Structure 1
Amino acid sequence: MDLETTSTRLVTALDGGTLVVHTTGDRRDAGPGIVLVHGGGVTIDVYGRLAVRLAAAELTVHRYNRRGRGDAPPRPEPYTVEAEVDDLAAVLAATGSRRVLGHSSGGFIALTAALRLPIDRLALYDAAVSVDGSFPLAWLDTAREAARSGALARSLAITSGGINTHSSAARLPLGVRTALCRAFLRTSIGRTMGELLPSTLDESEQVRRADGPADRWSGVTADVLLAYGTAGPPYYRTTNEALARALPHARVLSIDRSGHDGINRAPDRVVAPLAAFLAGR
């Protein structure tokens, strides 16, 4: 099979909803299958390059859109991370995979899933996990209020500034950031992020509710790779180091010159260590 060719299959979730699993690299000589749990504000489309490059490293990559986006069914309400874990369980069972790669809020979902699902290897990149307040969330209530009032650009500006604490843009006046976000919302990726912003805020609320000491995750028995980009927000390093001390089989990987979207860009310095870990090498 051409590495860039993706096949699809339909998977019935626990609640009867139909998930579409997109598989890249499924060929006779392929290595282990991995399931990708994508981040908030995006669809699986932004991980296409990553999927192809992991397939070139002899992995079979299974991607699925989480509820409420792309070809996924509507999201059940009220939103809970447990429902996300149920969907991941269905995809793992259908693909026979026991290895997971999670990014951002997808990393939070994957780590939560590892507490109760049969996951052997778990790679996380910039996982949105909060350990004793390590993930900044003081902005969340204000952003949700703005979104409820219909001020989408303002809500996005508050969200972006609250998360991207390392960015010089985050220190601009809110009015300037709002104007920039208003222009961004007219782009293709901006429209997607704007449409999914309420979901992103709901996911952030789940991260806040799960905040606590690192040892709350000590029941994760999988081998875990806690990766982060040194060009991204510094709190990922703090969180990963705390998690590595609490998890029985975990190590931290810092990736130079890589930001939060480094996993989407998929350069060698990101793909090679992720592929080696997920393949068990």
Structure 2
Amino acid sequence: MRTERITGGDGANIVVYSFGAGPGIVILHGGGVQERDYHRLAKALADRFTVHLYNRRGRPDSAALTGTETIGTDIGDLAAVLDHTGARSVFGHSGGGFVALRAGLSLPLERIAVYDPGLSIMGRPRFAFLDELEEAVRAGDHVRAITIAGRAVTPDSPAAKLPSAVAALISRLFLRTPIGRRFEALMPTIPPEVRRIAEHDGPATDYAGITADVLLAAGARSPRYFTENCEAVAAAIPCGRAIVIPGASHNTANIAPKRFVEPFAAFFAGGQVLEAP
């Protein structure tokens, strides 16, 4: 892994981590996590591509949150990374997928792949939980916050239907794990990122101006709204395609098994994308 420090357009510090050799790809991480959670994916692609990662704001080694951030802030940071690395391909997961697609409207990208992108298309999904989530995070009630967030992301799962006391106990136990403690440290980044997605609710045609080749992938085990939004946006983009990855859940991007990686590797290489069996 190679590490470089660069400066964003507004003077913010950005640390870029790079793996491999070949055509460049920038990975945009999701919400509540950081670039380190995508090293498996980066290494899986590194035999064919140069893969660059960086932390979005509010994470370790990135600029602190000021409360003034907008989607333009995220796009500006990505533009600085693209300019420094020369990469013209982007992979975005969850909230990072939202940034990638919004960036496709203005940045000189050639290929954009997203997995379970955090989009709001004509009120799908609903963000009725957001005010309550913001309140819980402001109060420092992270058990309540993670319970709210978990139920909101997977509203139809058995876990989302558990009694409140049981759900809170599971959240409390999760926050005692190493992954949970990292997630808790990043809790303040989640509400503003979700708020930006909610504020950009609209028709799929909002993304029709993207001229890059776009692959929109959803997990077969992820909430249904990811597949529905991917299909809607793919139909609206001139060079868009939607696929469903069998057996994959929302967090499969972080585990990066071969069956998950191959459709994206084929897409970035310019070959035919085959859905995993």
TM-score (norm: length of structure 1): 0.94
**For residues 77 and 164 of structure 2, what CA distance do their matches in structure 1 show?**
37
Amino acid at match of 2:106: R
Which residue does the alignment assign to 1:46? 37
Q: Matched residue pairs, number?
A: 271
Given the alignment of the two structures, is residue 71 of structure 1 paired with residue 61 of structure 2, yes or no?
yes
SS in 2 for 1:101: strand
- 8 Å CA contact retained: 1:228, 1:237: yes
Question: C-alpha root-mean-square deviation of aligned residues, in Å?
Answer: 1.1
**For residues 41 and 217 of structure 1, what CA distance do their matches in structure 2 show?**
25
SS in 2 for 1:143: helix
Question: Match for 1:136 among 117, 123, 126?
Answer: 126
Question: Match for 1:116 among 97, 106, 117?
Answer: 106
Q: CA deviation at 1:180?
A: 1.1
**For residues 174 and 205 of structure 1, what CA distance do their matches in structure 2 show?**
24
**For residues 224 and 54 of structure 1, what CA distance do their matches in structure 2 show?**
18
**For residues 125 and 269 of structure 2, what CA distance do their matches in structure 1 show?**
30
Q: CA deviation at 1:150?
A: 2.3
Which residue does the alignment assign to 1:253? 243
**For residues 256 and 136 of structure 1, what CA distance do their matches in structure 2 show?**
25
Question: Match for 1:149 among 139, 148, 151?
Answer: 139
Q: CA deviation at 1:135?
A: 2.0
Q: Which runs of 4+ in 1 moved over 3 A?
A: none
Cα deviation 1:173-209 (Å, max 9, x = unaligned): 2222112111111111111111212211111100100
- 8 Å CA contact retained: 1:122, 1:223: yes
**For residues 234 and 138 of structure 1, what CA distance do their matches in structure 2 show?**
18
Which residue does the alignment assign to 2:274? none
TM-score (norm: length of structure 2): 0.95
Amino acid at match of 2:214: V
Which residue does the alignment assign to 1:3? none
Cα deviation 1:50-101 (Å, max 9, x = unaligned): 1111012x11100001111122121343221110110000000000011000
**For residues 76 and 87 of structure 1, what CA distance do their matches in structure 2 show?**
15
Q: CA deviation at 1:130?
A: 0.9
Q: CA deviation at 1:263?
A: 1.0
- 8 Å CA contact retained: 1:231, 1:258: yes
Given the alignment of the two structures, is residue 189 of structure 1 paired with residue 179 of structure 2, yes or no?
yes
**For residues 146 and 98 of structure 1, what CA distance do their matches in structure 2 show?**
39
Amino acid at match of 1:40: G
- 8 Å CA contact retained: 1:25, 1:61: yes
Which residue does the alignment assign to 1:23? 18
SS in 2 for 1:34: strand
Q: Give unpaired runs (5+ residues) of structure 1.
A: 1-5
SS in 2 for 1:253: strand
- 8 Å CA contact retained: 1:136, 1:163: no
Q: Give unpaired runs (5+ residues) of structure 2.
A: 272-277
Q: CA deviation at 1:136?
A: 2.9
Given the alignment of the two structures, is residue 7 of structure 1 paired with residue 2 of structure 2, yes or no?
yes
